[in-house]
Amino acid sequence: MSDLQNDLQAALGSAYTLERELGGGGMSRTFLATERSLNRRVVVKVLAPELLQGLSVERFKREVLLAAALQHPHIVPVLSTGDANGLPWFTMPYVEGDSLRQRLARGPLTLGEITAVLRDVARALEFAHERGVVHRDIKPDNVLLAGSSATVTDFGIAKALTAARTMAPGGTALTVAGTAIGTPAYMAPEQAAGDHTLDHRADLYAFGAMAYELLAGRPPFVADSQARLIAAHFSEAPRDVRELRPETPPALADVIMRCLAKEAEDRPSSAAELVRLLDSVSSGSGGATIPEALRGPQMRLGRALAMWGGATLVVGVTAWAATRTIGLPDWAFPGALGVMLAGLPAVLGTWYVQRTSHRLLVNPPTLTPGGSFPAHGTLATMAVKAAPHVSWRRTWMGGAIAGGSFATFLVAFMVLRAFGIGPMGSLMGAGTFGSKETLVVADFRPPAGDSTLGATAAEAIRTDLAQSRNLSVMTRAGMREATRLMGREGLAAVEYDVAREIATREGAKAVLDGSIEKLGPAYVVSARLVATLDGKELATFRATADDDGELIAALGALSREVRGKVGESLRDIRQAQSLERVTTSSLPALRKYVEASDVLSSLGDTERGQQLLREAVALDSTFAMAWRRLASSFAGSGRGRAEAVQAIEKAFALRQRLSENERLITEAGYWTSGPNPDVNRAISAYEALLARDSSNQAALNNVSTLYARTGDRDRAIAALEAAIKVPRPFGGAFTNLLQGYAAQGDIAGMERTAAEFKRRLPSHAQHWYADVLIATAKGALPAADSIAVHAYREARGSGQRDMSSFHAGGVAFLRGRPKEGLRWFAAGNEAAMEGRGSTTPALMSGLDSAYIAALFLEDVPRARTLLARALARVPMQSVPAAERPWEYLSQLAFTLSDPALAREALAGVRRDSAEAGIPKGRTEMFEATIAHTEGRYADAISLARQSQRQFYFSERFTAYIVGDAFDLAGSPDSAIVYYEKFAAHPLSDFDLDPYYIAGVFKRLGELYDAKGDTAKAEHYYQRFADLWKDAEPELQPKVRRARARIAELRRSKG
């Protein structure tokens, strides 16, 4: 035991037992002792002997006792004081653990540890300074570590030494410059200068120096002599601590560098301010923060990616569903995914910053062999610098803000579009367009050297626009008809000026005009939507295609832009099929189709049009529109049933490649004239089409025909009434409605319809037909004959000659003038087959002669002779299969009661229909004829009714067949019932009345006469006589006999 230790033990007496010396240096030596009274360990510190010169021990004790009053969790208090042989000593509690100096000797501290130590030291200084106690020797040696807490020791000792030495007895100063109390490495400039007026801010400087050392691994100034070290405190600026420890948070570095200011005034004003600054650094308040990595658990990359992936999935599914159900724009779904994908780098970046900063800030750095901190890579340095500004909360909030901003933009877009505001606004929203407007598409201006491309492009766009519920697009055929009525028939192309004139005449809202430019293999398609009335440009559109193969897709994209600008539901636009699908992906095939449409509509060249359509489907066998048009052409020409059935079957099989309207039209056509007709399914298809487009004329007209076939005349008339009210009605709707009212005997309805026909379509070529029907229904047959004859003489084409001659002949037959009727029929046959080079007209004329001889003249032998002569001159096999009149031959067999001829007709139709198939009800019609001619009247009645149920026989013709069968079977009462049904129809059915009505009137008179019902007998005899009053001489005997019988009946009553 040393002399000092012996002297100290003696001074302490039995109250303390010294155990060992812990260390010392600087101002004191330190011993570990046991305080016996409390059985606790304490530390005994003895001032160094060299500090005793000029020291007032008593004053030192008093100053120490002032420091002993400091009771704070982070201050080691003074317990007692005394002296041993003039050496002052004092005791303090023993703190288990290392000093901060000892901890530094083992290696660098983490930023978290440093921040915790500094915060505790600052709070100790705050407490002491508020009570007027300045430490004057803050350094790592005087900071003790116990667990996670730091405490400051030797508070007030330096102050006590200074106070006890400053003034000698008599007031002489004993301290001179260079002998200041403190540790040079941490000494503030004013303290080093021995300024006795220094205050608490000297502690803040020492605090900064100590903090600097904790971060950098060395004090702010290092010199090889004490003098140079002190000089550095006065004159040198310390290096930025971040240069030595890059991961130091900027806010913490700023606090330390402020503490190291040369002038006390530039330092924090108090330890309390220092505490607030450190709390701000630790808690994140006030801007720059201790990185998130130090203030919470790390998030693993897998979990972060799972959260991002889950959010992306939810957003993607929501955007996808909303796009399809609500009708968001096409870019909504990819835009939402883009926003979420843009968040992936943020997620990865946040994870990297957190991981890197956590590793660098929490894990103690490994010093290099030279004792310095290792240099970090660029990314790691950037991560540490970014750490205070990056957190998972900010990343998730940023994602939410980005998603919310995108959603807000999307809502704004939809609102602006709905209300027609700005460039995003729709024409419907702005009130420029209504909910259903007519649009005329002009033929686009083609590139040089390709004259057909403009018309092809325009037709493709018409097809796509026709899918819209909000646009009624004028068809190419309709435009051709309009140019004809305008006296401009034969135009090679319907360009903008003509299209606008058509739009003005038809009441269309706008014209779509455009051009196609060819740049090498590529195309640029430009279009503009122009208001019809003032020519104002409403919108412009543009699309590009790299080559021919992409041109149709580009036209489809442009069409969708037009539909979107008009204001159609984006959902409907998206759900509509692509233009390539509803037309063809083959540009050559589309060219053929458009050319065929022109040939069929404008030139009436059926064979050329059909050949072009065949070529179109040869280029693209999936071209459903071409198959449908081919089927329609065959059906309309009345030839090629096998090909017609094949075409409609192909179209039906490919119907999913059609627009919704085209698909329903195809289905209706298939169920009407396909291999297995089904009227109810056809009606359902038309009704579905009308639910989508209530003004579709073709659907209204065709479904009315089907309603009539099922006997539902009220619905038939309602459909036709709707058809004539559409913006651009076609003449057939008026003529069909006239026939509907005629069937009901509604003369007023017929006259009203005829007047509307002439008002709506003043230039239509079939006004005469309306007049013929009305005159016939009124019984004014001479007037009807005059009208039909005049129409024939003034006919505008072969079609009108065919139709007017048929009705002139029909009126002649009604009036009992069969020879005259035959002449008109012969003229009609020639007109129908004009330019076709067929033998059919000659055959039909021969059959007509035989039929009239049997039916009107009742000269069966002559009729057989004429039939044999006709078939010898023009054998059935010489006539094209599609034109062979087997049904007419069956009717002849019926009239002649010729079973062999009836069977020949059935065999012929079966043979010719082997490929296409026989429609339901048709076979039963032929078999009914066979049964009738063989005298199997019950079978004939059953088969006729079966044919009617399958909608092949009309209800009225069935009434005639059944009535005749009952008559021949000897059932007059039943015969009368069915003959009455037939006779109740007004004279307007030109398919039946010219041939059967006169005979039915006469036969009803005879049947009622036989029953003794003179009133009804007289009524029907009179109707017969009045109808044939101008009959040809050969038939006048029948008229005279009827009149004679009328006279007899009247006499018998009188």
pLDDT at 444 over 90: yes
pLDDT value for 284 = 47
Q: Averaged over 769-782, what is the pLDDT?
A: 94
Task: Give percent above pLDDT 70 in the chain.
Answer: 89
Residue 457 identity = A
* CATH among 1.10.760.10, 1.10.3720.10, 1.25.40.10, 1.10.4160.10 for 954-1054: 1.25.40.10
927-983: per-residue pLDDT in tens? 999 999 999 999 999 999 988 877 667 888 999 999 999 999 999 999 999 999 999
pLDDT of residue 770: 94
Q: Name every residue whose Cβ is closer than 8 Å to that of residue 872 and which is 6 or more positions away in sequence.
A: none
Long-range interactions of 422-427: CB distance < 8 A, separation 24+: 426/564, 426/565, 426/566, 426/567, 427/529, 427/538, 427/539, 427/565, 427/566, 427/567
pLDDT tens profile 618-677: 999 999 889 988 888 887 665 556 678 888 999 999 988 888 888 899 999 898 888 788
What does the pLDDT read at residue 170?
Answer: 43
Residue 438 pLDDT exceeds 70: yes
- Which position has the token pair 């703190």? 95
User: Can you give the pLDDT at residue 26?
Assistant: 57
CA atoms within 13 A on the CB side of 1024: 30
**H or E segment at 393?**
helix 392-419
pLDDT surpassing 90 at residue 909 = no
* Residue 747 scores a pLDDT above 70: yes
Q: Note the pLDDT tens digit of each residue in 686-737.
A: 999 999 888 888 899 889 989 988 888 899 999 999 999 987 787 888 989 9
Digit-coded pLDDT (tens) for 34-75: 999 889 999 998 887 666 665 666 767 776 777 778 889 999
What is the Cα–Cα distance from 570 to 960, expressed in whole angstroms?
56
Mean pLDDT of the chain: 86
300-314 confidence digits (pLDDT tens): 888 889 999 999 999
pLDDT-derived band at 903 (thresholds 50, 70, 90) equals very high
Which residues, including other chains, have CB under 8 Å from residue 303's CB and lie 6 or more apart?
Answer: none
For the record, the structure tokens of 141 come out as: 């040696």
pLDDT at 492 over 60: yes
Top pLDDT among 81 and 582 is at 81
- Residues 111, 90: Cα–Cα separation, whole Å: 35
Residue 505 predicted with pLDDT over 70: yes
Q: Tens digit of pLDDT for each residue in 119-143?
A: 999 999 999 999 888 888 899 999 9
Residue 344 corresponds to which amino acid? L
Question: Could you give the 3-state DSSP secondary structure of residue 236?
Answer: coil
Q: What is the band of 289 on the pLDDT scale with cuts at 50, 70, 90?
A: very low
The closest of 703, 688, 679 to 655, measured between CA atoms, is: 688
**Comparing C-alpha atoms, which of 815, 786, 789 is closest to residue 803?**
789
Which of 184-218 are b and which e, b meaning 16 or more Cβ less than 10 Å from the residue's Cβ? bbbbbbbbbbbeeebebbbbbbbbbbbbbbbbbbe
**The pLDDT of residue 583:** 80
In the prediction, which pLDDT does 161 show?
65
More confident residue, 819 or 837: 819
User: Rounded to an integer, what distance in angstroms lies between the CA atom of residue 350 and that of residue 343?
Assistant: 10
Q: What superfamily would CATH give domain 428-579?
A: TolB, N-terminal domain (3.40.50.10070)
CB atoms inside a 10 Å sphere around CB 1010? 10
- Band (pLDDT 50/70/90 cuts) for residue 290 is low
Domain made up of 3-290: CATH architecture: Orthogonal Bundle (1.10)
Determine contact, residues 155/94, Cβ cutoff 8 Å.
Answer: no
pLDDT for position 175:
40
- Identify the CA nearest to 612 among candidates 631, 625, 599: 599
Q: What φ, ψ does residue 676 adopt, rounded to 5°? A: -130, 80
Residue 178's pLDDT is what?
40
pLDDT(283) > 60: no
The pLDDT value recorded for residue 420 is: 86
In tens, the pLDDT along 522-549 reads: 999 999 999 999 999 999 999 999 998 8
| Nearby residues of 452 by Cβ (< 8 Å), 6 or more positions away | 446, 591, 594, 595
pLDDT at 111: 83
Give the whole-number percent of the chain exceeding pLDDT 90: 45
The per-residue pLDDT for 930 is: 96
* pTM summary value: 0.61
pLDDT band at 172; cut points 50, 70, 90: very low
Rounded Cα distance between 77 and 286, Å, is 34
Instruction: State in Å, rounded, how far the first CA of the chain is from the last one.
Output: 176
**Predicted local confidence at residue 684, as pLDDT:** 95
Quote the pLDDT of residue 155.
80
Give yes or no for residue 911 having a pLDDT over 90: no
CA trace torsion 1003, 1005, 1007, 1008 (10° rounding)? 160
User: In this model, does residue 167 exceed pLDDT 50?
Assistant: no
pLDDT at 378 over 50: yes
Cβ pair 654, 667 in contact under 8 A? no
Q: Which of 123-137, 405-419, 999-1013 has the highest mean pLDDT?
A: 999-1013
